[in-house]
Chains A and B, each alone.
Chain A
Amino acid sequence: MHCVKPPLMLIGLAILLVMLTFFAICVGAVPISWPLLSQTPFNQGVWQVLLSIRLPRIALTLLIGAALAVSGAIMQGLFRNPLADPGLLGVSTGASLAVAFAIILPFSLPAALALYGHVFAAFIGSLVIGLFIFSLSQPMHSSLTKLLLAGIAINALCGAMIGIISYLTNEQQLRELSLWSMGNLSHAQWPLVIGALLVIMPTLLLSFTMAKSLNLLQLGEEEAHYLGLNIKRTKCALLLLSALLIAVSVSLTGIIGFVGLVVPHLIRLQFGADHRWLLPGSALGGAILLLVADTIARTIVAPAEMPVGLLTSLLGGPYFLWLILRQKG
């Protein structure tokens, strides 16, 4: 069924990612090139742009892209539904609500932390919703359908509350909130990037070890049970991993849609459904899509920027549609 073996395709994706990363380092509002770097004394001019603006941003982009796509792949596998995405359980809406609160509430953080105010708010919001969903999944015989419906209810509830808050905000605050919700990678700084790395990398690696369990889960919970899988533990672990990935992503970059839904789908079309290849493939694919989208977002209207969340959908949408229409049967 697959003409190229998945390991080869994985290597291919990795090479593509490395090439794109080098390309992305070079382009931007301040172009960077080797000759230019060698002529400039270290830690001045372009070096500063490279080290304190471009590199952290690209590193964050790669991490968030991978996290979003793998989180989506886990959700789709867990719910056995190709339409599931990381936003399904309301985690990102919870984050939005917390950010909305943070924007209108009058108190402010100490100066050193003020920059990270939205990050903290979003992380707390997504964690609260994540833990709530997790506690719902605890009682025996709780079905995935119930979880899904609970997610819909949470999404609706948080959405309505965001609506109320938006209604109460002034123009300035409203703009801030709506820009946040379009996703943005521009405030990437090394402390944030390193924090993200420390959470995302172990979570990704752990989720790769769950690939075989995710495969068995595709046969249905009963069947997976007969094959010796501890269903309850597996479901909890997968939920937690996926919620953690989405919580970190949303809190650092706002809502970036589409990556989590579409990347696993694209990878599955090429790699097949085996999660042992799908999860690492999605990580690479998500990093690539977000890198391309962000590079365009920061160059197309330079020196201004487009919200990257808009671009992921603008880029991914037509390509995805083309793939679906091209498919036979």
Chain B
Amino acid sequence: MIKAENLCYDFGQHTLIKSVNLDLVAGQLTVLIGPNGAGKTTLLRLLTGYLQPSSGQCALNGRNLEQWSSSALAKVRAVMQQHTQLSFPFTVREVVTMGAAPYRHFDQKQLDQIMQQTDCDSLQHKDYRYLSGGEQQRVQLARALVQLGMTSDEDRWLFLDEPTSALDLYHQQSTLRLVKQLTKDNHLGVCCILHDLNLAALYADNILLLSGGQLVKQGTPQAVLTRECLTRWYGADLITVQHPHYALPQIHLLP
């Protein structure tokens, strides 16, 4: 469980995150949404321990983030950033293998399996720098999964910052299906920033809506993705309808 209490973050004179309280539960896919500049990435960095909060605290698996050593934390928490660029000719396999850095030994078979799950095995020997943005995202997801794949006795946490922003329809679906399935099979909690609200509606167990650095609404997709709420916080002209096959909201913009 990740528990944030009264989390605040100031940068210079600006307050980027204002007293956020939240609980993340393992076995759930939590989606973080919000308009541009709402502080989604900053909140993610506070929850992962990259930034230290100005006030308030955040605990992971019952222990305050400041008390974790970075190497111990690396075994239970992995992060995939929006873009990761390399300057040198590493192969895809080399990049994915970097996920095993926190461990002494790593399991080749498990690595192969993760490469397959993320549809990276055909890219193995290619130069990472020359992949498309979507392929790079899949490789980074594979790397993050390798990082978490080796521990089993503790709750593990995967943080994704817009993992689907450069993916085509097929890979958006397969990535989110994979992540969702992982939360069912293992004791894995996922916290994911998504811009596409319709995707969020399809896969999220829990949605957090962030605006101006504050958590303004949280709950199930049905509770958060309402016309009234989205119009208020996003300021966009839209309607919500029910998905034809599922009891889930879908959002349509008006022309």
Contacts and interface: CB of A to CB of B under 8 A. Distances in A.
A126 to B, nearest CB: 27
Given A1-B127, A215-B98, A226 B90 contact: no
A329 B126 CA distance: 13
B91 interface: yes
Contacts of A81: 87
A219 B98 contact: yes
Q: By CB atoms of chain B within 10 A, which of A212, A216, A225 has the most?
A: A225
Given A1-B126, A216-B98, A219-B98, A226 B79 contact: yes
Nearest to A228: B74
Nearest to B126: A1
Nearest to B147: A227
The 7 closest A-B pairs by CB, nearest first: A228-B74, A273-B88, A228-B71, A226-B79, A228-B102, A80-B87, A273-B90
B94 interface: yes
A223 B81 contact: yes
Interface in B113-155: 125-127, 130, 147
- The majority secondary structure among interface residues of chain A is loop
A274 interface: yes
B22 interface: no
Contact of A212 (B70, B89, B90, B101): B101
Contact of B86 (A212, A218, A226): A218
A222 interface: yes
A1 B77 CA distance: 32
Contacts, number: 76
Interface in A169-223: 212, 215-216, 218-220, 222-223
A228 B91 contact: no
Nearest to B92: A1
Given A1-B127, A218-B90, A219-B86, A228 B50 contact: no
A218 B81 CA distance: 14
A82 interface: yes
B94 A273 contact: yes
Contacts of B130: 329
A226 B78 contact: yes
B101 A274 contact: no
A117 interface: no
B87 A228 contact: no
Interface in B34-88: 45, 48, 50, 70-75, 77-79, 81, 84-88
B101 A228 contact: yes
Nearest to A265: B88
